[in-house]
Amino acid sequence: MSGASAAAAETARQRGLMSIGEVLAHLRVDFPDTTISKLRFLESEGLVQPSRTAAGYRKYSGEDVARLRYILTLQRDHYLPLRVIRDELAALDSGGAGGAGDIAAAEAPIASVDRADTGRLRPALVAVGTAQQPEPLPDPADVVVHRDDLLTRSGLTDATLTALEQYGLIGQRPGGGYDADALEVATAAARLAEYGIEARHLRAYRAAADREIGLFTQLVAPLAKQSGPAARTRAAETVRELTACTERLRAALVRGGLRQVLGR
């Protein structure tokens, strides 16, 4: 290939690349909790390697985006930790099949992308190129919901909310108001109340959560004490993976126990 042809090919390739903000806008359609810090963290872990401009800006190809979708799908739908995802990616990169049978569904995002010709992605992603860089999603701890709003959005009665507070299931922030996790608890409690499950019945969940907090603090605290955004992101990812695993474990145990009750 002549020098002119190579330069033209490189220019065409660069036009098909996306900035980190454009990639974020694309991914948030299906993964709304994704942040720029998360994308940088996945890069620091070696799971995706975008190219760089001469000025050092990240540029993602269509294949990079497909790879990110694959990673996020495995995390969200299959609760896989990063070390397992890294092995799955290594198997795909070497031309082998994924290790776990239930991974097949998660490969759909990559299957929909022609990995050998990322230029074909451009028509599907043309809207991304003109998307404005989205504002970062707020951290759940930074969300402030006032009492009346919490009652309206969750469907709780004031008496039930008071009972939940008495049993330590919901608490106000130091400056007043409730955070996003409190709203999540309130919403779940409201749905359970429809089946006759009262706040007092939920005390065991508070006790179980406290035990998990004590156990996981031993794992997360050393990461949280490290300085730098990468360490904080890694600590947040560890928390996400741990809570996802325990939610899956708890749900499986409950389903298994109730299956016996139903005689199945």
In the predicted structure, residue 70 carries a pLDDT above the cut 90 = yes
CB distance 77 to 61 below 8 Å: no
Fill in the DSSP letter of residue 1: -
* Architecture of the domain defined by 3-129: Orthogonal Bundle (1.10)
The stretch 84-88 carries a mean pLDDT of 88
Query: What pLDDT score was predicted for residue 55?
Result: 86
Question: pLDDT (tens digit, 9 = 90+) per residue, 99-127?
Answer: 433 333 444 444 333 333 333 333 333 33
pLDDT tier for residue 147 given thresholds of 50, 70 and 90 = very high
| Token code pair at residue 104 | 């097949």
Question: pLDDT (tens digit, 9 = 90+) per residue, 183-213?
Answer: 999 999 999 998 999 999 999 999 999 999 9
Query: What pLDDT score was predicted for residue 117?
Result: 36
Query: What pLDDT score was predicted for residue 207?
Result: 94
Record the pTM: 0.54
Could you state, in order of their start, the residue ranges of all structural domains in the chain? 3-129, 140-261
Higher model confidence: residue 230 or residue 92? Answer: 92
Q: Which amino acid is at 151?
A: L
Task: Return the minimum-mean-pLDDT range out of 68-72, 137-141, 219-223.
Answer: 137-141
Query: What pLDDT score was predicted for residue 190?
Result: 92
pLDDT tier for residue 2 given thresholds of 50, 70 and 90 = low
CB distance 42 to 48 below 8 Å: yes
Report CA 11 to chain centroid distance, whole Å.
34
